[in-house]
Amino acid sequence: MLIFLALAVQAGVPPRGATFSRPALSGPEQLLDASDGFFRLHYTHEGIDAVPAPDKDGSGTADYPERVLAALESARAIYEADGWRPPVRDLGEGGSTALDVYLRGVDINGYAYALDGEAAEGGYACFMEIDPSLTTAGLILESVAVHELHHCVQYRYGLTASWIHEGSATAEQYSQVSDLGLQLAVNVLWGVRLGSPELAVSDTTGRYEYAAHSFFKYWSDAVDDRRVFWDAVAATPEDGWRTHAKDAAENAGFGSFGELFLEHQVYNAFACGADDGNHYVADSLACTTDATVDFETVTGGFDSVHSETPYTTTFHRMAAADSSLAVRADCEVTEGEAGIGLVAVDADGLGGESTTAFGATLAAQLARPLDPQGEVRAVVVSVGEVPAVVECTLTRVEATEFPEPEPEPEACGCDSSTGALVWAPWLTLLLIRRERGRR
């Protein structure tokens, strides 16, 4: 059975200064402290909160809390090495002065709660709950600890929308810890996000907000620093997520969050089963399933109608017809605000030339001819407060640029006595398989 490894941050965290009741365990409490005193685990062996009893290493402490503590210490070191604001301990109100972690039966894999702490420059401390019934097979337990601790890191910057908290924590979870079972979970989450582009980016239906890990995967590939997004949260902690997203996009060099979102959706047109090696980087959070977005096949005109807002997407494709023709898109935005991206795709599914446009009327044109066996993909996004309705026409037009012709091979000026020595290295080079570049 596939186990979903998506966690939930405590919804609706009260303003700074609020307090939470600490959980009471179902049996006599036992403690496990980190060697430096930073973490304190609270657990029991009795009742519904009981942790599994095995102690395979004979340390006198059950393996389950030991694994949780080891994962938390490893994740803390990674977050600090990567330059994140360090998680901090609370002030001891209701718990200890350590960062308290309660192994307790909850209705989901774990929770992280924001509360006042020792952070001098603002933000929140936290305490956590992790369910003691998680399977001990593979690295599932460790991944849960990584996810929950990232919520504590996030709280150092402030509070924002749930999809941002969950998408970011899920990206960190699967970036740090990986095995076959976790890869299956990553694939399912990719399928969830690619399969419902009509939902707003901020939608929290089902596991959709956890599948926002794909947004932060794109962010890492395009911006190379997930902290930039959280720096925007910290700069205006009282503002909503749309301000945070806008500021983060501008700080990353984009003109708007809408432009960044469109490029992210163009990447999604080449994700998973449509991967061309030129978009998402195949390192952490790689998708190994055949899932793809659902393209509408068109022959010219099409409507892009969005029912939710903001930041939803429709995907369209049109086959090439003539090697001497390029493609132009002309669209009228009759409701809302929208943008379009056009991408030329060759017969092997490799994305090539691309262009984008935003405005009340959208005009985007590819300059080069399409591969006669290829296609053009059109990605239309709704980015305003009102769901967009867009009427588009794709037209084949004369190309204005053409690929450079392949250069003629130069003759070799060697004689028969040295020919073998001269050509042998070049023959070797010609046999080396070229790897596709990534942008």
Q: Do domains 1-159 and 296-398 have the same CATH topology?
A: no
Decide yes or no: CATH 2.60.120.380 for domain 296-398.
yes
What is the DSSP secondary-structure string of 336-366? S-EEEEEEEE-TTS-EEEEEEEESSEEEEE-
pTM score: 0.87
Tens of pLDDT along the chain (439 residues) come to 223 334 333 333 333 444 578 999 999 999 999 999 999 999 999 999 999 999 999 999 999 999 999 999 999 999 999 999 999 888 787 788 899 999 999 999 999 999 876 655 678 989 999 999 999 999 999 999 999 999 999 999 999 999 999 999 999 999 999 999 999 999 999 999 999 999 999 999 999 999 999 999 999 999 888 899 999 999 998 899 999 999 999 999 999 999 999 999 999 999 999 999 999 998 889 999 999 999 999 999 999 999 998 999 999 999 998 778 999 999 999 999 999 999 999 999 999 999 999 999 999 999 999 999 999 999 999 999 999 999 999 999 999 987 776 666 665 444 433 333 333 332 232 222 223 333 3
- What does the DSSP assignment read for 60-111? SS-HHHHHHHHHHHHHHHHHHHTTPPPP--B--SSS-SSEEEEE---SSSEE
Which residues is 40 bridged to in the sheet?
33, 100
* Alpha carbon distance 199, 113 (integer Å): 28
Please give the pLDDT value at position 8. 33
Closest residue by Cα to residue 6 from 198, 147, 190: 147
**How much is the pLDDT for 265?**
98
Cis ω on the peptide bond leading into residue 310 (within 30° of 0)? yes
The token duo for 130 is 């992790």
Domain 1-159 sits in CATH 3.30.70: no
List the strands of the sheet with 312-319, edge to edge: 296-297, 312-319, 375-382, 338-345, 351-358
Q: What is the pLDDT of residue 72?
A: 98
Q: What is the DSSP letter of 285?
A: B
Q: Could you state, in order of their start, the residue ranges of all structural domains in the chain?
A: 1-159, 188-288, 296-398
Residue 409 is predicted with a pLDDT of 60
Q: What ranges make up the beta strands (E) of 107-184?
A: 110-115, 125-130
Q: How far apart are CA 185 and CA 197, in angstroms?
A: 19
CA distance 202 to 1: 28
Picking from 301, 429, 322, 439, the residue whose alpha carbon sits closest to that of residue 371 is 322
CB atoms near residue 107 (< 10 Å): 7
User: What is residue 326's three-state secondary structure?
Assistant: strand
